[in-house]
Structure 1
Amino acid sequence: MTRNGPSLGNVVACDGSWRFERGVDLRSDPYLLDHVVESKPVFPAAYLVGLMTQAAHRVLPDHQVLGVQDVSFVQAAHFKDTRALEFAVAAECSDPHHVSVGISSSMAPPREGFPRIHRTHARGNVRMGERVAQSARFPCLDFTGAADYAELYRLPREIQHGPSFLAGRRYRQPAPRQLLATVVPPGGSASGWRLDADEPGWPASLLNAILHVGFSLGVLARERTVLPLELASAELHSIPSGEVQVFARMTEAREGRLTFHVVSWDLDGRLVALFHGFTVREVP
């Protein structure tokens, strides 16, 4: 993994299945210190999606990642002290255009003589193919005078963000169930959202910046912490070099679950990414 995002580890391939493994801790991946939930560094949900797309691209390198479907965020990956998690990303090609991916980890037990602790973090399906260029269709919005996005990063208090995740710049809330925002590569990186032009899959920092707008809308709506639960589908149409404008809309609120539709575009009006059914749950 790199300083600002996830990458895959060593791979073992057998009978149509691939398994990528790598040890992850706060020393090897210090960017995790910039995403802290209740005093513990946590692997971001959007980065799990990024790993899924990387694995699928490694399995089918002659295809592009078009979308993800039926993503479930099962259990968060927490980090404590210097203990490492052995991350495993298992991928299987179900047909020529779909790859199913599961992400899990294991860690040493707190006491000798006990078995290793195993956890499942996420699972989903990745759709592969050839991306079709999109024409401009969205207006470029003027955020002059809009509120500072730093206000949203301070909500909720249980979550703290550091420089690796500070992509939001300005926001407006035109209606209680809507949120508009503008985001840029964290730290104003000159290399844009993708640090390496040959990097497989989707840039995790871009996914995280866009989905955070939906997450923030959930926090504003309920004035409490929410946690990611599932993502029905997502499409990435282009990877811009700089600013992205984002619109999030709440489509359903029921039994402590909030569901959002999130769309984003670049300053030329071209579609960047589209997320359907991004669902979070309220923390009691």
Structure 2
Amino acid sequence: MPRRYVMCPPRHFAVDYAINPWMDPNAPVDPALALRQWGELRDTYRRLGHLVDEVEPQPGLPDMVFAANSGTVVDGRVLGSRFATRERAAEAEHFRRWFVENGFRDVTMPREVNEAEGDFAWTGRVLLAGTGFRTDPRAHAEAQEVLGVPVVSLKLLDPRYYHLDTALFVLSEATDDRAAHVAYYPEAFSPGSRRALERLFPDAVLADAADASCLGLNAVSDGRNVVLPVEAGALAEKVAAHGYEPVFVDISELRKAGGGPKCCTMEIRK
């Protein structure tokens, strides 16, 4: 099915600070290359038949390109974000304004820290909610109240996989006659969360350390096409074996800030 995505061009992209293990302010960054890679990702979505809206980037907010962290939308209801780090805090208001200016009427800004689709993954029936590094576990209950959907909490253990979307993605959402299908990296999760995932998704695609280390799980699936980093060849073979079509993109420059295809992509679900 055609999807609607929200993205933000990295016209002010830089790595000026370190708020996750992927970021090194002393390493060289090529902003022009980051912008080209982002443009190729956007154009890939459009070639696949999806609608992409763009939010205007703001000076002084180099991570605003990672639009997934600024809103969660289910059935037209919007839960905004509240960032854990001061460096990104101002992004939330710019995205709130975008929602209001684009006709969204049911917009709630959270009281608790939540980094939106960075830590929230909609499966069609339940919202998987990560915690451990960014999103406050109290935000999971807030998301349930605001969005009106059941929430399953999952604890992350490895600081390299500081958001849920670096360790898990939804391959296909649940329908009336089909369960949701996900891919994830088991070692990123606490033992209890791992057992919960095994119960919920017994046929999940399990990624290995190499898949995870290139942010291969920071992928976007429309239920058929799976857009993922070009380095994630082993993961691509696994999802292809389940009938999906891997679509490779190069996000090497954006990965220097700890992001990949999903980080750049917020989904609008109405």
Q: Give me the TM-score of the superposition, normalised by structure 1.
A: 0.23
Q: Which has the higher strand share?
A: 1
Highest RCO, 1 vs 2 (Cα 8 Å, sep ≥ 6): 2
* Higher share in helix: 2
